[in-house]
Amino acid sequence: MLNIQNSFRLFVVLLSFAFGYNVQATENISTETETRPESARQVVEQFQKTLLDVMQHGSELGFEGRYKKLAPAVKKSHALTKIARIVVGREWKKLTEEQQKELVDTFTRLSISAYAYNFKEYSGEKFEFVSEEETARGGKIIHNLLVIPDDNDVKFDYMLKKINGDWKIINIIADGVSDLAVRRSEYTSLLKNQGFDVLIAKMNEKIENYAKQ
Amino acid sequence: MMYYSNLHIQFKKGCVLTFLFSSILLAGCASTDVAKTEASAAEVAAEQQNPADPYEHINRKIYGFNDKLDKYVAKPVSDAYLWVTPQFVQTGIANFFNNLNDISVILNNTLQGKFEKGAEDTGRFLLNSTVGLAGLFDVAKEVGLEKHQEDFAQTLAVWGVPEGPYLVLPVLGPATTRSVPGVVVDTATNPVSYVGYPVQVLSLLNSRANAEGSLKFIDEAALDPYVFTREAYLQHRKYLIKDGEIEVSHDVADLEDAFYEDEEESFGVVETTDRMDADNAKPAEQENLAKTEGYTLKLSADKNGFSQASESFEDALKSFQEASQSYQEASKKLDQIKH
């Protein structure tokens, strides 16, 4: 009997090694001073703070309240104009100036609405910083974990670029799925095949649906 | 922008295998947009294609069929199941089928040379089958043994079999040519395939019910559910093959190129200094090459296959070393416990 217990313990000890790496996730605390231009990591963490705050007060705020609270935070931390340009790819240059403006505006509203709709509840989720990585062309990737109680962690990677001296989020990769890449396929395909008006109409339809709930 | 965060919360909330199932099982997303997107299918086929999806025209049609099947058959049944079944029963059922799936996970971990993970999953299976009452409770998770996601299509990928074109299978949903034999082997290694049909029906219900969150999310967020599903499926599969250790910067290079693309002609919104740097241009080029890998693999499967196979052998060796190292550490710890 003792033997069985021992070997079971060995087994558990052995297997727990594989998860050892999870422990160090929160240890690297930033030593950077809080100077005016925020570091890439600070931009991400500031935004996550707002997000968690909105989630915690989700129901009392309602959709509109969440939208209002999130709008400045999303605009500040995300390079929305840039993202809107990337998701339509080469089609951007074929658009008139007015269309470009309309696209950026609609895309901004859609992004904020999606946040406001999807982050309405809080059940103890938290973000943990894991590491920071520099890309080949001077961008930064902030690796995070979204820890959900009673569930598996989600790997969250924020990709940032410096725009006019400020770090801005241009992509989020969740468990290997890159939001920007998915969006780009969707938007370019729609724009090419069904035209600008249909794209904008679909985006507005999504915004309306989000606001309804 | 951050639709995905919630998608993944929902993924996780649904079930560990949610995405896989959502894709495999009736990957519809009850949306009225489908008719419209279908209408454009011909143009899509005629226009420039995604190299990963040469059969988009027919794929879209099957996607539309699956979508209707889901909307009118699977979803109503699944909704009824969710309505009548208490949450703890649903969880128990999901755990039960997850546990049976662990057999296939163990097998595939072993076939891929991931002995350490295979050992973990064996532990999971033994623990859950006994203490967890035939898998109804995921007690292994409580001890820190998380479930891994492995299947035969991933094993084939590790062995160097090229991904092949994207396919949408009738009823089964998104796949690639590589995952077709995968589905066959996975079915053969799942005990559910050998029991009576009531259990199989329950298994299907469970899968669809667990996919509800993801399907709802796609329906809410996607402008073109077909493209959305395809991109998310292909990316997530890649992520699973690499066991989540995919170097993000690798995938990001292409997007970084896109980041600068529109500036070549515009009035420098961003820093322009490093843009055309020879050093910087080079890795970007390599990344581009890597991006078209799926396509070139078809033409030169032998060479790539060989290098991938040798890589996977190295991985296997590494994992074997890791396993033996952790054995040593474990016995050391055990000694400490004894004293």
The answer to whether residue B268 scores a pLDDT higher than 70 is no
Neighbours of B25 (CB within 10 A): 23
Name the band, by pLDDT with cuts 50, 70 and 90, for residue B246.
low
Query: Which residues in chain B touch residue A18, judged by CB atoms under 8 angstroms apart?
Result: 116-117, 120, 326
Distance CA A183, CA A39 (A): 26
CB contact (8 A) between residue B231 and residue A186: yes
pTM of structure: 0.70
The pLDDT of residue B336 is: 66
- Contacts of residue B205, defined as CB under 8 A and 6 or more positions apart, other chains included, come to B77, B78, B81
Query: Which residues in chain B touch residue A12, judged by CB atoms under 8 angstroms apart?
Result: 123, 143-144
How far is Cα of residue B304 from the mean position of the Cα atoms in its chain?
22
User: HSE (CB half, 13 Å, CA atoms) of A146?
Assistant: 29
Return the minimum-mean-pLDDT range out of B62-71, B151-160, B267-276, B328-337: B267-276
Hey, is the C-beta of B9 within 8 angstroms of any chain A C-beta? yes
> Between B145 and A7, where is the model more confident?
B145
Contact in structure between B118 and B106 (CB atoms under 8 Å): yes
> Between B285 and B161, where is the model more confident?
B161
Neighbours of A20 (CB within 10 A): 11
Percent of chain A predicted with pLDDT > 90: 51
Name the band, by pLDDT with cuts 50, 70 and 90, for residue B39.
very low
Sign of the CA dihedral A102, A104, A108, A113? positive
> Between B221 and B10, where is the model more confident?
B221
- On whether ipTM exceeds 0.90, the answer is no
The pLDDT of residue B244 is: 76
The answer to whether residue B287 scores a pLDDT higher than 90 is no
> Between A70 and A23, where is the model more confident?
A70
Distance CA A62, CA A65 (A): 5
Distance CA A71, CA A116 (A): 9
The pLDDT of residue A78 is: 93
Q: What's the average model confidence in pLDDT over B88-111?
A: 93
Q: What's the average model confidence in pLDDT over A8-14?
A: 36
b/e sequence A139-156, b meaning 16+ C-beta within 10 Å: bbbbbbbbbbeebbbbbb
Q: Which among B238, B255, B270 has the least Cβ separation from residue A171?
A: B255
The pLDDT of residue A176 is: 84
Percent of chain A predicted with pLDDT > 70: 82
> Between B28 and B116, where is the model more confident?
B116
CB contact (8 A) between residue B280 and residue A176: no
- The CA distance from A118 to the nearest CA of chain B, in Å, is 6
Name the band, by pLDDT with cuts 50, 70 and 90, for residue B314.
low
Looking at every residue in chain A, the average pLDDT score rounds to: 81
Q: Which among A6, A139, A189 has the least Cβ separation from residue B227?
A: A189
Hey, is the C-beta of B335 within 8 angstroms of any chain A C-beta? no
Q: What's the average model confidence in pLDDT over B36-57?
A: 62
The answer to whether residue A189 scores a pLDDT higher than 60 is yes
Looking at every residue in chain B, the average pLDDT score rounds to: 72
CB contact (8 A) between residue B269 and residue A115: no
Read off the pLDDT of residues A132-182 as tens digits, 9 standing for 90 and up.
988 878 889 999 998 888 777 888 899 999 888 899 999 998 888 889 989
Name the band, by pLDDT with cuts 50, 70 and 90, for residue A54.
very high
Q: What's the average model confidence in pLDDT over B264-269?
A: 38
CB contact (8 A) between residue B119 and residue A14: yes
CB contact (8 A) between residue A202 and residue B223: yes
The pLDDT of residue A168 is: 93
> Between B155 and B19, where is the model more confident?
B155
Read off the pLDDT of residues B326-336 as tens digits, 9 standing for 90 and up.
556 656 665 66
Read off the pLDDT of residues A24-41 as tens digits, 9 standing for 90 and up.
333 334 444 444 568 999
Minimum CA–CA partner of B237 in chain A = A176
Query: Which residues in chain A touch residue B324, judged by CB atoms under 8 angstroms apart?
Result: none
* Residue of B115, B137, B141, B252 for testing the chain A interface, max A β-carbons within 10 Å: B252
Domain locations in chain B? Answer: 1-41, 56-241, 266-338
CB contact (8 A) between residue A189 and residue B221: no
Read off the pLDDT of residues B168-215 as tens digits, 9 standing for 90 and up.
999 889 999 999 999 899 999 999 988 888 899 999 999 999 888 888
Token pair 């000694």 is at which residue? B335
CB contact (8 A) between residue B223 and residue A206: yes
Q: Per-residue DSSP letters for B7-70?
A: HHHHHHHH-TTHHHHHHHTT-----THHHHHHHTHHHHHHS---TT-TTHHHHHHHHHHHHHHI
The pLDDT of residue B243 is: 83
- Our CA dihedral for A207, A210, B2, B6, rounded to 10 degrees, sits at -160
The pLDDT of residue B38 is: 43
Contact in structure between B248 and B235 (CB atoms under 8 Å): no
> Between B302 and B51, where is the model more confident?
B51
Hey, is the C-beta of B84 within 8 angstroms of any chain A C-beta? no
Read off the pLDDT of residues B126-160 as tens digits, 9 standing for 90 and up.
999 999 899 999 999 888 888 899 999 999 999 99
Distance CA B62, CA B59 (A): 5
Q: Give me A41's structure tokens.
A: 């990591």
Read off the pLDDT of residues A55-113 as tens digits, 9 standing for 90 and up.
999 888 899 999 999 999 999 999 999 999 999 988 898 999 999 999 999 999 999 99
The pLDDT of residue A120 is: 87
Distance CA B167, CA B187 (A): 19
Q: Report the first-to-last Cα separation within chain B, whole angstroms.
A: 55
The pLDDT of residue B165 is: 93
